[in-house]
Amino acid sequence: MTVLLEAAGLKRHFGGLWATNGVDLQVTAGEIHALIGPNGAGKTTLIHLISGALLPDAGTLHFAGSDITQCNTHDRVALGITRSYQITQIFPRLTLLENVRLAVQSRRRDWGSSLRFWRPASVDRQMIEEAEDWLARVGLAAAVSQLAGDVSHGERRALELAMALATRPRLLLLDEPMAGMGPEESEHMTRLIASLRGTQTVLLVEHDMDIVFRLADQISVLVAGRIITSGTPAAVRENHEVRRAYLGDEQS
Amino acid sequence: MSGQTRHRLEAALFIAAAALPLALQAFGEDYYIGFATRLLIFALAATGLNFIVGYGGMVAFGHAAFFGIGAYTVALLMAAGLFTAWIAWPVAVAAAALAALLIGAVSLRTRGVYFIMITLAFAQMIYYSVISLKFAGGDDGLSLEQRSTLVPFDLADPATLYWVTLVLLAACLAALKRLAASRYGHALTGLRQNETRMEALGYPVQQIKLVCFVIGSSVAGLAGALLANQNGMASPSQLYWTQSGMLLVMVILGGVGQRFGGMLGAITLLGLEEILGRLTEYSHFYVGIALLGVVLFAPRGLAGLWGRQK
């Protein structure tokens, strides 16, 4: 079991608020690792820090053995860290296929730079086929030629997952992938994420405890900018501090 | 319109445009060959700007800088004794590209209104620098001793300069089509629609935008080199902010992000000014009304009126 991502003493403040206040976190390769915590605990800030959208004020981040503390987003994507957003981020006036194609094309290690000006991209048959495969994988095979702006919210979230997967990340960051979904869509997404188990390392932020306990191999609990405990679902469920700080509130 | 029909239409347009000087000569209207050349040169400059604004999604308000740099490069080289277009024009393009690289690298740290203002500020800095330089002719501009030499062609002949300009414009439009369909073109499209997403996918967003800015500006440099030849001088007015504004108006009029938008806008605007200028003293008033009409009733510009084409 190798540690893929390791955060040590990570800190970030906004004005006087320490949104991340000394986070130590280890994500092991191959696991689905859930990050839970009450509203305002700093979950999204932590995702921003790991994806490179924000840089920490203190602490270090190591990914697959290399120090990425000061790397910007696109260096981190090149190393294999891809994220999805809490608010859907897609290309609304492109088809689903074109959306995923752009995600496939972003893999510089496979295709080279996107600064290729002359060859028509439509001859890149391989890229298109791969994009179709990813869409089929998330259940969107029938909608490939629809505009992303025209499909349902649930389909857009699934599209986002397909795009994130198409970058072939070593670590996938999912920030509330079920946000705003109905029960059926939510169930579909849960199954999709479950289908990644064993092949894809995932760091998942999620509010719904049922889903977290179904999906996670490992859970870390973030309260007021700190990880108060990390462990298997069973261990976290039994932890008194967690019950008091978090689960207890929800059950009462 | 199918791809093939459009292809034929474009070919027919090109042939008609190529035949224009012969027709004008036959009717003894040689003056209009120079006017038509001017239209094509502005069409080229506006096409470059449209690449930045319409394809790259960056509203740049300093296009005159690169247009002027192209003109001044040719004029200065000629003053130093270099007459051949084979060297002077590529140098003009390179000078515009270099300026765009430096200005773009700084300006692209901003966006939206700030990008508009900072590109305008840089362009005005260049304007004031140039008019304060004695060897660049100051307020009077710098005249060309003669037109550039482009062996084996004789640019002193107005029709030849027209044809050379036409070929360069056509080549530029063809390259633009190719570029839009390339991987780079796809990345630009993605960037225009959702920059955050492109960033998250790991695209080097700043680099992609900078390249777009440099390409569009280089085209303006080439147009500037041509205009210096057409006018027989490089003039400060070419660098002034009103010139940037006029080029933007051409792009909006013709169709932002439409491949022929810059060309249609330039031809329409300059054509209207020429025709109305003969009829009335208040031509700008009527041009303004025409522009208002387009913005209100054809928000995708004139090129947008007959179908999508990119």
Q: Which of B177, B191, B193, B214 to mutate to test the interface with A (most CBs of A within 10 A)?
A: B193
Q: Using pLDDT thresholds of 50, 70 and 90, give the confidence band for residue B62.
A: very high
Of the partner residues A83, A94, A119, the one whose CB lies closest to the CB of residue B182: A119
- Residue A239: what pLDDT? 83
CB contacts under 8 A, B 197-226 vs A, are 197-205, 207-208, 211
Of the partner residues B181, B194, B201, the one whose CB lies closest to the CB of residue A120: B181
pLDDT at B310 over 60: no
Indicate the pairing of strand A81-83 with strand B233-234. unpaired
- The distance of B103 to chain A (nearest Cα, Å) reads 20
CA separation for the pair A83, A163 (Å, rounded): 10
Per the prediction, chain A carries an average pLDDT of 88
DSSP H or E segment with residue A35: strand A32-36
CA separation for the pair A33, A36 (Å, rounded): 10
B24-34 average pLDDT score: 90
Contact across the interface for A89 and B178, Cβ inside 8 Å: no
B231-259 average pLDDT score: 94
Q: What percent of chain B has a predicted confidence (pLDDT) above 70?
A: 98
Contact across the interface for A102 and B186, Cβ inside 8 Å: yes
- The distance of B42 to chain A (nearest Cα, Å) reads 25
Of the partner residues B186, B187, B200, the one whose CB lies closest to the CB of residue A89: B200
Q: Which of B176, B178, B186, B210 to mutate to test the interface with A (most CBs of A within 10 A)?
A: B186
Q: Does B3 touch chain A (CB under 8 A)?
A: no
Q: Using pLDDT thresholds of 50, 70 and 90, give the confidence band for residue A248.
A: low
Amino acid at A160: E
Helix%, strand%, coil% for chain A, nearest 5? 40, 25, 35
Q: Using pLDDT thresholds of 50, 70 and 90, give the confidence band for residue B309.
A: very low
Q: What is the pTM of this model?
A: 0.87
Q: Does B310 touch chain A (CB under 8 A)?
A: no
- Residue B251: what pLDDT? 95
CA B111, B117, B118, B122 dihedral sign is: positive
Of the partner residues A90, A92, A114, the one whose CB lies closest to the CB of residue B208: A114
Q: Using pLDDT thresholds of 50, 70 and 90, give the confidence band for residue B282.
A: confident
All residues of chain A having their beta carbon less than 8 Å from the beta carbon of residue B172 are none
Contact across the interface for B184 and A91, Cβ inside 8 Å: no
B112: phi > 0 → left, psi -120 to 50 → alpha, else beta; which?
A: left
Residue with the bigger pLDDT between A1 and A105: it is A105
- pLDDT tens digit string along B143-180? 999 999 998 999 999 999 999 999 999 999 999 999 99
- Residue A117: what pLDDT? 77
Instruction: Kindly compute the dihedral angle of the four CA atoms of residues A89, A221, A242, A240, in this order, to the nearest 10 degrees.
Output: 160
- Residue B307: what pLDDT? 59
For A6, phi and psi rounded to 5 degrees? -135, 120
- The distance of A70 to chain B (nearest Cα, Å) reads 16
Contact indicator for A25, A196 with CB cutoff of 8 Å: no
Contact across the interface for A101 and B197, Cβ inside 8 Å: no
For A4, phi and psi rounded to 5 degrees? -90, -45
Nearest to B24 by CA among B39, B41, B45, B44: B39
* Locus of tokens 């130590």: A24
Q: Using pLDDT thresholds of 50, 70 and 90, give the confidence band for residue B37.
A: very high
Contact across the interface for A105 and B186, Cβ inside 8 Å: yes
User: Out of A117-131, B59-73, B154-168, B182-196, which region has the weakest mean confidence (pLDDT)?
Assistant: A117-131
Q: CA-based angle B188:B126:B227, to the nearest 5?
A: 75
CA separation for the pair A226, B272 (Å, rounded): 67
SS3 A153: helix
Three-state helix/strand/coil letters over chain B: CCHHHHHHHHHHHHHHHHHHHHHHHHCCCCHHHHHHHHHHHHHHHHHHHHHHHHHCCCCCCCHHHHHHHHHHHHHHHHHCCCCEHHHHHHHHHHHHHHHHHHHHHHHCCCCCHHHHHHHHHHHHHHHHHHHCCHHHCHHHCEECCCCCEECCECCCCHHHHHHHHHHHHHHHHHHHHHHHHEHHHHHHHHHHHCHHHHHHCCCCHHHHHHHHHHHHHHHHHHHHHHHHHHHCEECHHHCCHHHHHHHHHHHHHHCCCCCCHHHHHHHHHHHHHHHHHHHCCCHHHHHHHHHHHHHHHCCCHHHHHCCCCC
Q: Using pLDDT thresholds of 50, 70 and 90, give the confidence band for residue B61.
A: very high
DSSP H or E segment with residue A50: helix A43-51
pLDDT at B142 over 80: yes
Q: Does B190 touch chain A (CB under 8 A)?
A: yes
Contact indicator for A21, A226 with CB cutoff of 8 Å: yes
- Residue A28: what pLDDT? 93
Contact indicator for A163, A105 with CB cutoff of 8 Å: no
All residues of chain B having their beta carbon less than 8 Å from the beta carbon of residue A51 are 200
DSSP H or E segment with residue A251: helix A248-251
- pLDDT tens digit string along A120-151? 776 678 889 999 999 999 999 998 899 999 99
- Residue A123: what pLDDT? 63
pLDDT at B225 over 90: yes
Contact across the interface for B199 and A74, Cβ inside 8 Å: yes
Chain centre distance of CA B97: 14
Of the partner residues B179, B193, B205, the one whose CB lies closest to the CB of residue A117: B179
User: Out of A58-72, A189-203, B276-290, which region has the weakest mean confidence (pLDDT)?
Assistant: B276-290
Burial class of residue A204 in the structure, from the number of CB atoms within 10 Å of its CB (0-12 exposed, 13-18 middle, 19+ buried): buried
Contact indicator for B81, B144 with CB cutoff of 8 Å: no
A161-174 average pLDDT score: 92
- Residue B305: what pLDDT? 81
Contact across the interface for A73 and B202, Cβ inside 8 Å: yes
User: Out of A80-89, B66-75, B81-90, B103-112, which region has the weakest mean confidence (pLDDT)?
Assistant: A80-89
Domain ranges of chain B: 3-241
Of the partner residues B184, B185, B190, the one whose CB lies closest to the CB of residue A91: B190
- Residue A85: what pLDDT? 78
SS3 A152: coil
